[in-house]
A = this chain, B = another copy of it.
């Protein structure tokens, strides 16, 4: 599948490399491809502007920080996102008061919903925002099954994303329901951050035991 991964940070690099390894044709979207290429840690995959990457993709992965998510999608362009599955991995973290961050939106709304409202023709699926990048793409390294979640209003987009998650190694994907349920997974961040502090590592994940 032709996939655009928007974002060149840890999540973007990790997810794009794994999707490439799984045989997909990946283009990485970045604000300024030439500037990105000058960085020592620039991605090895093809780079394009957000708009060009999204235009050629069948599925778009949003892997930027939550505070710029809506701006990056505006640069990608509503027309280039229309009708496509839009995988939202971002978390609305507010680091302005230090660590641990608080949330820019919560409880009565979520970033996933804001994105769906801003881009009504995109088929937004919130997922993978509840674990560290390395485990997003290789959950089996934990040695025991753990859970990821999908939230979204479009069943076929969720089905497509669930297939990608399975290919990455996820053996327990829970469909929470519509995009409104992104409130639940985004609000996992506060305990995730405190667990990271208590355990001294981000290499853990939630399993829903039932």
Distance between Cα atoms of A209 and B132 in the complex (Å):
13
Shortest C-beta distance, A130 to chain B (Å), equals 9
Mostly, the A contact residues are mixed
Known contacts A142-B210, A210-B203; decide if A176 and B188 are in contact (CB<8 Å).
no
Say whether A138 faces chain B, with CB atoms less than 8 Å apart.
no
CA distance A19 to B3 in the complex (A): 55
Q: Which residue of B lies closest to A107 (CB)?
A: B102
Q: How many residues of A contact B (CB 8 A)?
A: 38
Nearest CB of B to A31, in Å: 29
CB within 8 Å of B: which of A175-200?
175-177, 181, 183-185, 187-188, 190-195, 197-199
Q: Are A177's CB and B203's CB within 8 A?
A: no
For residue A121, give the distance in angstroms from its CB to the closest CB of chain B: 25
Within 8 A of B (CB), among A141-172: 142, 144-146, 149
* A117 interface contact, C-beta 8 A: no
Q: Which of B184, B185, B190, B206 is close to A208, meaning CB atoms less than 8 Å apart?
A: B206
Selected A-B contacts with CB under 8 Å, 10 pairs: A146-B209, A174-B198, A176-B194, A177-B198, A181-B198, A187-B190, A187-B191, A199-B208, A205-B208, A207-B207
